[in-house]
Structure 1
Amino acid sequence: MRRGLIVDDSAVIRMVAGRILGLLHFQSEEVDNRAKALAICERLMPDVILLDGGRPGAETLDFMRTIRRMPGGEATKIIFCATENDPMAIGRALRAGADDILFKPFDRRTMQEKFEDVGLLA
């Protein structure tokens, strides 16, 4: 079974995203910060990371760059979950290693379409 990692400080977003991942036949882990996420990725790199982009500061960008340098990190799909359409923040996220952007709030259909766009689903 494919693995997904949800990194978001909102318990509601983690719960909703985890439920959708399950419906898409992904096993999911949910964490509320990037330090916990890095520990999981060091243990076993997931197929996809849904990364909270609510505060796209240097820490978030460094997290994506770190993932890309880790063994298996180049193959992991990173979906940057944004709350607003800020072209500058989106550009920084894509340059730092995000594969695509998913706007909050999202539902199963929008997540499934995004996963299809990045090659996670046929």
Structure 2
Amino acid sequence: MAPPADQSAAEPAPSYGRRVAPSVPTAVPSAEQQPRNCLLVDDSRMIRKVARKIVESRGYVTAQAENGAEALEKCKLAMPDLIILDWDMPIMTGIDFLAELRALNHPKRPKVVFCTTHSSVKDIHQAVDVGADEYVTKPFDEASLLAKLEIIGAS
């Protein structure tokens, strides 16, 4: 007995259970296409807001921390490309944070710019000795912070 006419042109069987090769991108995105991340570490919400506006204007995606301990935890989860760092903060100072950050020996070494009221030569040397890449004193303006980012290749 022949099958009914409507079943003779059967549809293809569904592909349940068949393995399909995953799609592979043809090109790896370049560094210019990857978003750069900046962690703003300051106990002052206003300083974080001003710094955020400046670094976001340069294409950075920002995260924030109010003290060094919070910043260290964020760095352990996802190491940023740039850190804008205050010195005097509760719980953990910027100097203590930076010393612990550099001791992690993470393969990604973020650029660090201290933004602080500490302005003596001794303080600047201490910050650089601990691992800061640049230093700007508060109050800072957009031009001075951008100049420091340019110096360290983070603009």
Is TM-score (shorter-chain normalized) higher than 0.5?
A: yes
Percent identity, please: 35
- After superposition, the C-alpha distances for 1:13-43 in whole angstroms (9 at most, x for unaligned) are 0111111111111011111111110111001
TM-score, with structure 1 as normaliser: 0.87
Task: Identify which of structures 1 and 2 has the higher relative contact order when contacts are C-alpha pairs closer than 8 Å and 6+ apart.
Answer: 1
| Corresponding residue for residue 71 of structure 2 | 37
Q: Is the contact made by 2:87 and 2:118 (CA closer than 8 Å) also made in structure 1?
A: no
Task: Identify which range, 64-73 or 27-36, moves more after superposition.
Answer: 64-73
Query: Aligned-pair distance for 1:50?
Result: 0.7
Aligned pairs for 1:1-122 within 5 A: 1-54=35-88, 59-70=93-104, 71-73=106-108, 75-121=109-155
- Return structure 1 stretches of 4+ with deviation > 4 angstroms: none
Structure 1 pair 66/22, CA: closer, same or farther in 2 (3 Å)?
Answer: same
Letter in 2 for 1:96: V
Secondary structure of 1:9's aligned partner: coil
Q: Residues of 1 paired with 2:57 and 2:133: CA distance?
A: 22
For structure 1, which runs of at least 5 residues remain unmatched after alignment?
none
> Which consecutive unaligned segments of at least 5 residues does structure 2 have?
1-34
3-state SS of paired residue (2:49): helix
- Rounded to whole Å, the distance in 2 between the matches of 1:18 and 1:84 is 21
Matches of 2:141 and 2:152, distance apart in 1: 17
Please state whether the residue corresponding to 1:38 is helix, strand or coil.
helix
Aligned pair count?
118
- Superposition deviation, residue 59 in structure 1: 4.0
Larger radius of gyration: 2
Q: Which amino acid aligns with 2:41?
A: V
Which has a greater percent of strand? 1
RMSD: 1.7
